[in-house]
Amino acid sequence: MALNFNHTNSKNINDLGNICGIDFSQDAIFLPAMYGIFFIVGTPLNVLALAGLYRLVKTEKVVAVYVMNLLLADLIQLFTLPMWMDYYKNGHYWRYGPGACQFMGYSFYISVYVAIFLRCIIALERHLAIARPWMFQGLSKLKVAGWLTLGVWVLIAVPPSAALNKLFPVHENYTLCIEKYPSEGNFITYKLITLLLSFIVPLTFILVLHIKTLRSLMAVSALPPEEKKRIKDFLTLLVVAFIIVLGPYHFIGCVKYVGLLLHSDACAWEKVVFVPYQLGRGLLSLNSLLDPVLYMFLRNDFRSAVGVYVPCLQWVTWGLSQPRASVAVECSTAD
């Protein structure tokens, strides 16, 4: 049975941007449900992590600067989710005006791409702490970390803001928000470039660092096997989380937009990839749950706080402790 969205004119209005006649009831349940879970669970987790990080920044722990900015990006994304839930629940009917649509779309995607590059920085920081401790000591300054994170925000946020109307066009005559079926040529080119540069390049960078860091870790004779395993598990989780969160959206996105360039019937192809693409979009917000888990691996004090305030997560943090036999690792994470 078709869902009743209580907007008598919404279908006719949306048809202006939905020439293909996509059935928007297909994601009206699973996408709001996913966003609801991420918002309810992810918001307190990220706030709790930020509360612990505030003290660490004052003690000049560089890794805290990077993780804090990562969690801030997650919170920005989380705060957009209620409006997206309303949008998808009501059959892709945006009722807050074109300006709000533009701002919410911009905020959501900026938070995603800032988080991508912050994960690259965290992977590099872990590599230097283990494999290049002399270089790490020279770069482990709050001023350096502050300028580096500021550079990431500026690099990701400023160029799109200068071309906001091109990337997130305002459509006064219909109520779809940042989507059009079928997608047009210039937008397809833009999406393919961003999908490749924001996933393939960072993933390659993180994987290369992962392999090199593990090799260096195995060569550290001072660490017992169980402590090496814990560090290895953290590094592996960083890679796996990157792939799980970003992989589906970027892979399906590339398939979608390459298919639009090659397929003779663009609307038929849009209908085929609609649900998988929307599912990949929903998984982008899974980082709001996984990023605090990464922080649990790094901080003993946060693991203790989680055990007290969120007892159901004790099993996640039990047994995870920061190795103390390596000066290189301790200098970046010790209390």
User: If you average pLDDT over residues 175-189, what whole number do you get?
Assistant: 84
Is the confidence at residue 26, as pLDDT, over 90?
A: yes
User: Hey, CA dihedral for 68, 73, 77, 80, is it positive or negative?
Assistant: positive
- Sequence ranges of the domains in the chain: 20-333
Helix (H/G/I), strand (E/B), else coil: 220: coil
Tens-digit pLDDT profile for residues 112-132: 999 999 989 888 887 887 777
- CA–CA gap between residue 194 and residue 301 (Å, rounded): 38
- Element spanning 280, H or E: helix 266-283
- CA–CA gap between residue 335 and residue 106 (Å, rounded): 37
Name the pLDDT band for 314 (thresholds 50, 70, 90). Answer: very low
User: If you average pLDDT over residues 248-255, what whole number do you get?
Assistant: 93
Residue 67: partners with Cβ closer than 8 Å, 6 or more residues away:
49, 53, 122, 291, 294, 295, 298
- CA–CA gap between residue 200 and residue 293 (Å, rounded): 24
Overall pTM > 0.85: no
Percentages (nearest 5) of helix, strand, coil residues in the chain: 75, 0, 20
Question: How many C-beta neighbours within 10 Å does residue 213 have?
Answer: 23
Stronger pLDDT, 26 or 135, i.e. the higher one: 26
Give pLDDT, residue 167. 57
- CA–CA gap between residue 13 and residue 132 (Å, rounded): 59
Phi, psi of 18 (to 5 degrees): -125, 60
Give pLDDT, residue 22. 92
- CA–CA gap between residue 29 and residue 27 (Å, rounded): 6
Q: Return the CATH class of domain 20-333.
A: mainly alpha
Give pLDDT, residue 172. 55
What spatial distance separates the first Cα and last Cα of the chain, rounded to whole Å?
58
Name the pLDDT band for 162 (thresholds 50, 70, 90). Answer: low
Phi, psi of 313 (to 5 degrees): -100, 10
